[in-house]
Amino acid sequence: MSENRLAASSSPYLRQHADNPVHWWPWQPEAFAEARARNVPVHLSIGYAACHWCHVMAHESFSDPGLAAYLNEAFVNIKVDREERPDIDQIYMAALHALGQQGGWPLTMFLSPDGEPFWGGTYFPPQPRHGLPGFSQILQAIATAWENQDDAVTVNRQAILDHLKQNEAAQTAQTADAPIDESAARIVSMWDRENGGLRGAPKFPMSPLLDHLWRSALRTANADYEDAVLTTLRALCQGGIYDHVGGGFARYSVDAQWLIPHFEKMLSDNGQLLSLLSLAFARTGEDLFRVRIEETVTWLEREMTLPGGAFAASLDADTQGEEGLTYLWTATEIEAELGVEDTRTFNAIYGVTDQGNFEGKTNLNRLAATSRAWRGDNEEASLAAMREKLYRHRIERPQPARDDKVLTDWNGAAITGLVRAAQVLDRSDWLAMADTAYRFITTEMIDGEDLSHAWFDGRPTAAGLATDYAWMTAAALALHAATGDAGRPADARRFHQNLIDHFYDADSGACYLTDRTADLIIRPLSVVDEAMPSATGILAQQAMALFHLTGDPAHLRTADTIATKRAGQIGQNIIGTASIQAGLDSHRRARLAIVTGNGADADALKKAVLAEGDPALVLIAPEDLSHLPEGHPALGKAASGSMPALYLCNATSCQAPVTNAADAADLLARSRTQNRP
């Protein structure tokens, strides 16, 4: 009997559609068997729980009984949560691009019963509007074309499939050119010097790109690259993309000034931005970065931490069907909470006007030139007290829905960011938060050696992906560096080896996103960054860290292979290969920092290492040195006399130890631009 099959789904997004009159299937072989038996095309709809336009299309089209009846009659309808199954999303988003269309969500694709795409788009209104064709007319045209097997179906299907296969083959081609310095210069030539980020709108933080430019600044001593990153981070911290009342960053800005966000908040973005802000604070000591780190961690703890300690995936863009309802303010509301005098001060700084900046209300920001400046401890403390009053009022409003599924790779990024923040701000409580989340992943989301990608409602729901193993390697190494926990390097090696054994292709130096058992029309690669870095890019970075930590030459060979065989991809896509370029930077510049001894002098040396803000520095505890193999340059290093000491080593040698923070800072600064011999 036909029915909507989403009520028992493991995905909160799919459950949002469980009451639609559309007879939705989750992604499963039985859905395609049904399409073959009926000889009808598949209507595939991909979205995620926090997606505004997914909600709009659900309300306008999927809740309409007449339109749903036609969908049920002429199609087999499949719903996919892109966060739970990014492999499916990646394949069919690439198919949409092959049709010459821009991507976005909801992703609407039409497939053969064998899963082969032949046409698609993104959001469609129920009837023609704003230059978009109506969904009902599209459905009728697709159904007619399928029934008649028009050329648009047969030719498109084969052409798209050929394109997808050729694109995968092209991405595994070998070349040996590695223009990472040239790419940084090209990226900066496209930079918005006033507002930060790439020029134009909408504007995304693009954390992998910022990381690449940050590393390029350290590698080349080019202040222009560092300024590009710092300008962007300052604008993000003061713009409307940041939640000045509750903390945390929205996914992107609809304008070029970071003023009006798309109000959804994603764990993935905030974890990566915590890392970047921590690097920036370590080097600059700017209070703005410190405070935004503290506020974002507070948001993570207060609004995103689930029972058991892992972090939820996202907060919705909408509240009760209205975008930004929870976050926007009128001048009258603010005055009622703060009083006349404080309101005058607050409104001047946060851009509040009677007219507002978004549909008659104001999204708070500090983008005006007079508002961006950091105002000193007393005035900023006063503003913080005002914001706390507004927060207490805001939590009484209706709140956006939270997607409570746990994603392993997103949690890995958040754990890594938390650890980095805890190190530079000396916060043991944040380390404890990170460790608790890590323990959840490694107990609730692992079966033997195999990670799960997603977990919801008490159970794992999706098989592990390459990005999960890559990010959990990063999380394990970060926790080890910060805590000295002896079990973390073993974890990192296991995650890394699983990634190598099941996802990595040494012939091309690339990671596949799925393991070899995935039932898809192609096996997608993970070589291009999206909001999160590619698995290949993270692998390249972590291989060098593991080499320095263990001395195992297999890790160096992996880094060598990726550096050689992925480099040619950079010239073809300088933006989407940012994480691979970061891996090539680690391949060139990774160094091992060993601080021996204890006490205040040792702490000062560790702080000097952290103050570099250099992700290519691998800090390890001296007790790890006993595990190094014969011939490793760090083997046998110990405290210089009775004094704590810093040893700085590359792959082949260590420099003479230094015993005070000033000499350490000088040694580290001189080593930034030195490539590995």
Lowest mean pLDDT among 309-313, 408-412, 596-600, 633-637: 633-637
Q: Strand 446-447 relative to strand 450-456: parallel, antiparallel, unpaired?
A: antiparallel
**Cα 610 from Cα 597, distance rounded (Å):** 17
Residue 545 and residue 325: Cα distance in Å, rounded?
44
Are 378 and 347 in contact, with CB atoms under 8 Å apart?
no
pLDDT at 676: 66
Find the mean pLDDT for residues 552-574: 92
Cα separation of 625 and 117, whole Å? 54
Predicted confidence at residue 617, as pLDDT, reads 94
Name, in order, each residue with C-beta under 8 angstroms of 31's C-beta and a sequence gap of 6 or more.
25, 42, 76, 78
> What pLDDT, on the 0 to 100 scale, is given for residue 167?
65
Give the per-residue pLDDT at 176. 47
Contact 622, 253 (CB under 8 A): no
User: Could you tell me the pLDDT band of residue 174, with boundaries at 50, 70 and 90?
Assistant: very low
| pLDDT value at residue 169 | 56
Question: In the prediction, which pLDDT does 673 show?
Answer: 86
Amino acid identity, residue 635?
L
Compute the average pLDDT of residues 531-553: 94
**According to the model, what pLDDT value does residue 677 have?**
57
Residue of 666 and 650 predicted with greater confidence:
666
Number of neighbours of residue 527 by Cβ within 10 angstroms: 26
Residue given tokens 């045209």 in the structure block: 141
Paired residues of 614 in beta bridges: none
Distance CA 4, CA 72 (A): 10
Handedness of CA 516, 522, 528, 530 (dihedral sign): negative
Angle at 47 between CA 42 and CA 53, to 5 degrees: 110
Spell out the SS3 assignment of 97-161.
Answer: HHCCCCCCCCEEEEECCCCCEEEEECCCCCCCECCECCHHHHHHHHHHHHHHCCHHHHHHHHHHH
pLDDT in tens, 317-343: 999 989 999 999 999 999 999 999 999
Q: In this structure, are residues 265 and 251 in contact, taking their beta carbons and an 8 Å threshold?
A: yes
Higher local confidence (pLDDT), 625 or 273: 273
Give the least confident one: 123-127, 256-260, 463-467: 123-127
Question: Of all helices (H) and strands (E), which one includes residue 511?
Answer: strand 510-511
Most confident segment among 135-149, 397-411, 505-519, 547-561:
397-411
Mean pLDDT on 215-233: 96
Kind of pairing between the strands at 117-121 and 107-111:
antiparallel
Fold designation for 591-671: Glutaredoxin (3.40.30)
Spatial separation of the C-alpha atoms in residues 300 and 318, rounded to whole Å: 19
- Per the rule left: phi > 0, alpha: psi between -120 and 50, beta: everything else, 127 is beta
Label each residue of 457-496 as H, E or C.
CCEEEEECCHHHHHHHHHHHHHHHHHHCCCHHHHHHHHHH
Q: Give the mean pLDDT of 11-35.
A: 95
Same fold, 180-320+402-589 and 591-671: no
DSSP letter string, 15-72: HHTTTSSS-EEESSHHHHHHHHHHT--EEEEEE-TT-HHHHHHIIIIIT-HHHHHHHH
State the average pLDDT for the chain: 92
For 238-250, the pLDDT digits (tens) are: 999 999 999 999 9
Q: Please report the pLDDT score of residue 639 as a whole number.
A: 60
Domain ranges of the chain: 12-171, 180-320+402-589, 327-394, 591-671
Count the alpha carbons within 13 Å of 340 in the hemisphere toward its beta carbon: 0
| Percent of the chain at pLDDT exceeding 90 | 78
Average pLDDT over residues 283-305: 97
pLDDT mean over 59-77:
96
pLDDT of residue 630: 81
Whether 407 contacts 267, CB under 8 Å: yes
Q: In this predicted structure, which of 172-176, 284-288, 436-440, 639-643 has the lowest mean pLDDT?
A: 172-176
Classify residue 463 as exposed, middle or buried by CB count within 10 Å of its CB (0-12, 13-18, 19+). Answer: middle
Class for domain 12-171, per CATH? alpha beta
Q: Which amino acid is at 62?
A: F
Q: Which tokens go with 378?
A: 């007393």
Q: How confident is the model at residue 102 (pLDDT cuts 50, 70, 90)?
A: confident
> Is residue 235 very low, low, confident or very high in pLDDT (cuts 50, 70, 90)?
very high
Cis-peptide, bond into residue 202, ω within 30° of zero: yes
What DSSP designation does 549 have?
H
Token couple for 282: 């370590």
What are residue 329's phi and psi, to 5 degrees?
-135, 150
Which residue from 121, 155, 118, 163 is spatially nearest to 138, judged by alpha carbons? 121
| Residue 400: pLDDT over 60 | yes
Measured distance CA(588)–CA(544) in Å, rounded = 9
Confidence band for 1, pLDDT divided at 50, 70 and 90: very low
Q: Is the pLDDT of residue 291 over 80?
A: yes
Phi, psi angle pair for 128, to nearest 5°: -50, 135
Domain 180-320+402-589, what fold?
A: Glycosyltransferase (1.50.10)
Q: Are 638 and 581 in contact (CB under 8 A)?
A: no
Cα gap 21→330, rounded to integer Å: 38
Q: How far apart are CA 549 and CA 636, in angstroms?
A: 14
For residue 351, give both structure tokens: 């851009």
Which pLDDT score, from 0 to 100, does residue 485 have? 83
Q: Pairing relation of β-strands 406-407 and 402-403?
A: unpaired
Give residue 641's pLDDT: 63
Give CA–CA dist 621/15, Å, rounded. 47
What is the spatial distance between Cα 524 and Cα 545, in angstroms, rounded to a whole number? 26
